[in-house]
Structure 1
Amino acid sequence: MNDLSKIVDTLENRISKMLHGYEKLKQENIRLEAQANETHKMLKASQEEAQQWREKCSSLQLANSMLGSDQHKRETKLKINALVREIDQCIGQLSE
């Protein structure tokens, strides 16, 4: 009977250790999920900020070309031509 009691005690000990380990892993998983969510939010914010900077850069390039900068004149002319074609299409649709 004494051996059976030792076996039961050993099993209880192991189960207790396993449950403790499980709880530690569960808490670590929760922490890592929260960290992953925070990182995802930061990444999304960074991507949005980068997009805003790209748009500002594009606007500045367009403004520079309109102010007479030789660097982007061709791009500006192409953009203006595209806008004129789009306006012509709109006028054509309105006149139908």
Structure 2
Amino acid sequence: MMDQESNEIVISLKKRISELISLYQKSKEEKESLIHEKLELMEQLETLSREKKELEHHYDTLKLAKSLAGNSEDSHQAKLKINRIVREIDKCIALLNR
């Protein structure tokens, strides 16, 4: 009688261990899948961030062009902005020449 109970316990334990191993494998595969998905999303975020910067640059350029073609007040603002940019470039050149 004890042998049969022992066998049943061992069989039950083997079954539970097998189930745990199976769950572990599934969790491991899911983790790897999520890591891969995370990397893809990070790449996508980086690409979208670059695109956003490019679009912002194009927008600023268009805004500047529009202000140059616009009325005198807009032209004055554009000239001020151009002067500010030229001063910044001059500062950069001075720093590079050091």
One fold, TM greater than 0.5?
yes
Tell me how many residue pairs correspond in the alignment.
91
Cα distance change of structure 1 residues 85 and 7 upon mapping to structure 2, 3 Å threshold:
closer
- Normalised TM-score (structure 2): 0.77
1:31-78 deviation digits (Å, cap 9, x = unpaired): 1111111111111111110110000011111112222x1374343122
Q: Following superposition of structure 1 onto structure 2, how do residues 1-96 of structure 1 map, counting pairs within 5 Å?
A: 1-67=3-69, 69-70=70-71, 72-83=74-85, 85=87
Read off the aligned partner of 1:66 and give its amino acid letter.
L
**CA shift for structure 1 position 6:** 0.9
Equivalent pair of 1:65/1:72 in contact (CA under 8 Å): yes
Percentage of identical aligned residues: 32
Structure 2 residues without counterparts, runs of 5 or longer: none
Using a 3 Å threshold, how does the CA distance of structure 1 residues 6 and 62 change in structure 2: closer, same or farther?
A: same
Name the Cα RMSD after superposition. 2.6
Does the CA contact (< 8 Å) of 1:61 and 1:72 recur in 2? Answer: no
Equivalent-residue separation in structure 1 for 2:27 and 2:90 (angstroms): 65
